[in-house]
Chains A and B, each alone.
Chain A
């Protein structure tokens, strides 16, 4: 039903651009429109920047999902950082990220269609899906 398309390791700031690039190529191939492409890449930026700023190291994994007749893009952001203590607080609007001006996790949730997050001592895993508009 699905195949792992690719992943991008996030270690330095420029890796954020590489992750965006990979995400854009896949979303173009899957037929996302310009606004959705821009939303997906903004979400990728946000997730990758969180890894870069708070966990230092991690990866962004891209999956194509087929749930006929829908086609979607699943993005998993994984890191082995300190984790997020209060997930509910992190999901509230106004919770500071990236110096306060980032969209933050609530922004990522708004940009995408599905959102899930787990966090613990071993790190954080955020999974999001955007479905292509038929």
Chain B
């Protein structure tokens, strides 16, 4: 209260100066006063009262109806004062929530961490960026004792925190599989059971799973309702779509997934992505898949990591640096020889 009293004195002096001089400098000080009042949580009704009190002292014979009008104004402003205080409380809560989500997002990053395997046969690049703090996309690498590389790219239908929880579960399920169980068909069938048993109805996961055999250079793959993926053939310079039939994970309790395979030649480029890449929206229109592929093709001579970084930068800029959807892109290039 004492600070309010001293503020009131300040206000009275400012007002008196202004009434005499109409000086812009005093108005500037009034601006400072209002900022200070906000910092001290002084509500609008209180400011009007301060004005009223100051006015009474500065102009002793103030008209009675003017006095009454101030009572009327103060009464009118009480609810504004309350709304203002409520706003302050909610703002603090929002900051609190934001920092909690930040902690959760960090934890998610730790939980879902997967390292890009180094392999002589393959050069691998990955870029995965969440639209909001929590990522609903997921990618995972496995390398078995023979050096074969398993790769998964997944997208939870639904975003944010529930999606993130779901992803953690899928990751731990995948890690529990033993090394002789890394064939795409088997993995999707198992994951489908896990998701169906443990996740609420209405949450679905799409996944593309591939296994690269480093000896035969065959790429085995299966898809649970995921975006088609692509192979950029060195020989023709054209993209070849790779897709396999299969329901989304978690829709039905037992699903059989189709497993296909394709031969990968030196310098062929395997591209795995989520719909955040192919359905990224710019000014209300969806970017054509071809546009994505063209950007990849234009940089195909670079190292895989450079390719994905270029693609991401390209789309980040197109979307004015505000991603609408989680973005995940994996590029795997077969090395020469």
Contacts and interface: CB of A to CB of B under 8 A. Distances in A.
B305 interface: no
B89 interface: yes
Contacts of B298: none
Interface string B65-88: 000001100110011001101100
Contact of A35 (B49, B82, B85, B90): B49
Determine the main DSSP class of A at the interface with B. helix
B82 A103 contact: yes
Nearest to B46: A35
A66 interface: no
Contacts of A94: 86, 90
B86 A35 contact: no
Interface bin, chain B: 10 to 19
A34 B52 contact: yes
A106 B1 CA distance: 22
B74 A110 contact: no
Given A34-B70, A133-B1, 13 more contacts: A34-B71, A34-B74, A35-B45, A35-B74, A38-B45, A38-B74, A39-B78, A41-B75, A42-B79, A42-B82, A93-B89, A103-B83, A111-B82
26 contacts: A33-B49, A34-B49, A34-B52, A34-B70, A35-B45, A35-B46, A35-B49, A35-B74, A38-B45, A38-B71, A38-B74, A38-B75, A41-B75, A42-B78, A42-B79, A42-B82, A93-B86, A94-B86, A94-B90, A103-B83, A106-B86, A107-B86, A110-B82, A110-B85, A111-B78, A111-B82
Interface of A: 33-35, 38-39, 41-42, 93-94, 103, 106-107, 110-111, 133
